[in-house]
Amino acid sequence: MESLELEFRNLQHHPAVDSPPAILCEFTVDTLGDCAAYVKRLRSALSAAVYSAITADFEEEDLSVDEVPDWLIAIEVEGGRRAPDFAKSGRDAYVSQTGQRPWSLQNWLHRFDPEEDSRGWEWWDVTPAGSSCVRIWVDSWGESFFGCLDLLWVAYAAGARHVEGPTARRSEDWVAEATAEGFDDV
């Protein structure tokens, strides 16, 4: 639970630069528009999932979606016809680039079950990487190869055009970006 609570805090606020893990993995995301809006959507979806991990009874087949953003729910309802354009485009880019089907909302939420070892990463932070790019940083416990299709799914669904990664990086690389000008804009 302590790890989930730290992850939830990191989703709400940038973590302190004085205590990162030695190795982080990053994903470089080319967004479909405004980076700040993209990051807000991404954080809201992941916050809902991590909140579920802290509070939900995963013995239930259907987890509550009360905290899940409407745009993420809309991707699944009626074939996504009422989903915002960024979510539709992101869903299509995910399918095109991974060759995988979109995740069902319940299946995606169940990946955050703290009793399961199916998720190979924890959210660390996000930093700007250009006018329409951001870097998603995750703690993969030093592993450079780990299951991350669940993260890719939400990264695309939030409005990514393309996602590269994961790439293992030293924490100093994150610190340099986290202390750069413009960091607080995302």
Query: pTM for the whole thing?
Result: 0.94
Answer yes or no: are the C-beta atoms of 38 and 134 closer than 8 Å.
yes
Let me know how many helices (H) and strands (E) the chain has, helices first: 7, 4
List for the chain the helix, strand, coil content (%; round to 5).
Answer: 45, 20, 40
- Distance from C-alpha of 49 to C-alpha of 127, rounded to nearest angstrom: 21
Q: What is the pLDDT of residue 25?
A: 97
User: Tens of pLDDT along 117-146?
Assistant: 889 999 999 999 988 999 999 999 988 889
Q: How many CB atoms lie within 10 A of CB 2?
A: 6
